[in-house]
Structure 1
Amino acid sequence: MFILVNLKAYPCDPLEVATAAHEVAEESGVRIAVAPQAADVRRVADTGVETWAQHVDPNGYGSHTGSTLAEAVAEAGADGTLINHSEKRLKLADIDGSVQAAARAGLETCVCANNPAQIGAVAALGPDSVAVEPPELIGGDDSVATADPDIVRDAVEAAANVDESVEVFCGAGISSGDDVDAAGDLGATGILLASGVAKADDPRAALEDLVEPL
């Protein structure tokens, strides 16, 4: 099971979370990554934790002021990137362009989508993984794995029908080891979460709880 912690733009200490994630990953043997703001990618990567960007744009080098260049975050130490998060929606053509840009830069990709139909559509673009995250559950107390388990099962099936090599992650409302366990039982191979760790009073304790059933 892969645990990907998205720090969004929360007022947390990215180095505290990254250090805790690195230590818990080393101690538990569970793969854990942290996705900080673009400005913090290099500092977070320097802690030794697996580091992801929150977004990359579909363009390459050139006159693209304000863009997040895949090559730039890779050079800063990122190993992968989220694409099309619910809070950073892209058109399908731009999702495709961002997946290709990430691939050129050697970044692993996880494309987010709202529902199984969208999961099937983005899986066809050839990302490494997809994450199903109903917007109404993001940041809430209810996990998609427990509040709407069918959407996870259907997302796994939708991705497999398109490309069996594309892994499916479970996002939205994940905050405990029980949520992680439930996601795995439904066929997810990873989880995508944010506030459960980034807003925790003790990020290390939150991470330890997440990996406990693994």
Structure 2
Amino acid sequence: MKKRVKAPFFEIGPKSYLYGDKVFSLAMAAERAANRYQVDVLFTAPFTEIRRISEAVNRVIVLAPHMDAIRPGRGVASILPEALKAAGAQGVLLNHCEKPLNFGRLVETVQRADELELMTVVCAGNLREAVAVAGLSPDVMIVEPPELVGTGKAASSDVISQVVRTIRSVSPETLVLTAAGVSNGRDVYQNILSGADGTGASSGIACAEDPEGMVEEMVRALRSAYDERALKTCRIS
């Protein structure tokens, strides 16, 4: 059965900033924060760490950072979807700006993930691309302008609100994560107050002076912002 994520949620992608025991320690910090604040945390693990992390966590949802739309057989150095699932991945991140796919290949890869009941977390770099990707009905969409990735400069509230409205008009069941440039709890708070279902960080965590402490700060801000947003909605209604 495919793993389902619910709002509010947070995604951590250490990319290649960290490896080995440091990545594992970060995943354990994510597990603690997920339990403490009762939120879903997606952890996009390096391929080499998927099994070790997946066997050590309960609340954290482990994603693979990519996969190929191949089937068992020939394919040296390709990333076999069945192998990812066997290693413990519950979903896959696709079409990140650092690992882009053309649209035809993206369609094939999403279909392969759906066959295996792997959660699909698909990236788009702008609204036009987001509309096309939303038509594939992924479980989660990440919308982050490539020019903001890794800069520490987050998107504005107006941009976030427009992104959320646009994606929901195409695929109401798809959860929306807005990120890029998220570097502290304030950025997280603003993303969620602006209407996103989730947010996340890579360099903002991995390059922080205290990465594990930054996980705590960001997930705490996520929980606080979502609860405040829910309270405002109740007052209005």
Q: Shorter chain as normaliser: what TM range?
A: over 0.9
Deviation, structure 1 residue 23? 1.1
1:150-176, CA deviations, whole angstroms, 9 ceiling, x for partnerless residues? 332222122122111111101201122
Letter aligned with residue 152 of structure 2 = D
Q: Distance in 2 between matches of 1:154 and 1:59?
A: 35
8 A contact 1:117–1:158 mirrored in 2: no
Residues 19-58 of structure 1 aligned to structure 2 (within 5 Å): 19-48=28-57, 49-58=60-69
1:3 is paired with a residue whose SS is strand
2:12 maps to 5
The code of the aligned residue for 1:118 comes to E
Contact 2:68 2:78 in 1 (8 A): yes
2:140 is aligned with 1:129: yes
Query: How far is the alpha carbon of 1:200 from its aligned partner?
Result: 2.5
Question: TM-score, normalization: structure 1?
Answer: 0.93
Secondary structure of 1:130's aligned partner: strand
Give yes or no for the alignment of 1:154 onto 2:162.
Answer: yes
Structure 2 gaps of 5+ residues are 1-7, 224-237
Match status 1:195 vs 2:203 = yes
SS of 1:9 mapped into structure 2: coil
Residues 84-123 of structure 1: pairs in structure 2 closer than 5 A? 84-123=95-134
Of the structure 1 ranges 101-110 and 196-205, higher mean CA displacement relative to structure 2 is found in: 196-205
Measured after TM superposition, the shift of residue 15 of structure 1 is 0.6
Deviation readout 1:56-94 (Å, 9 max, x if unpaired): 112222222221122111111111111000100000011
**Match of 2:81?**
70
Q: Tell me, what secondary structure is at the counterpart of 1:212?
A: helix
For the 8 Å contact 1:54–1:82, the answer to whether it is kept is: yes
Contact 1:99 1:126 in 2 (8 A): no
Aligned pair count reads: 211
Q: What's the C-alpha RMSD, in Å, of the aligned pairs?
A: 1.4
Secondary structure of 1:17's aligned partner: helix
Per-residue deviation, residues 92-131 of structure 1 (Å, max 9, x unmatched)? 0111111111112221111101111111100101211111
Separation in 2 of the partners of 1:86 and 1:200? 22
Structure of higher CA gyration radius: 2
Tell me which amino acid in the other structure corresponds to 1:20: A
Report how far residue 201 of structure 1 moved.
Answer: 3.1
Provide the C-alpha distance between the structure 1 equivalents of 2:15 and 2:159, rounded to a whole number of angstroms.
24
Deviates more, 1:81-90 or 1:172-181: 172-181
2-structure distance, mates of 1:70, 1:198? 27
Q: Aligned AA for 1:119? A: A
Moved more, 61-70 or 89-98: 61-70
Structure 2 residue aligned with 1:186: 194
Counterpart contact for 2:183–2:204, Cα < 8 Å: yes
Percent identity over paired residues: 34
- Do the aligned partners of 1:131 and 1:192 also contact (CA within 8 Å) in 2? no
Distance of 2:200 and 2:133 partners within structure 1: 17
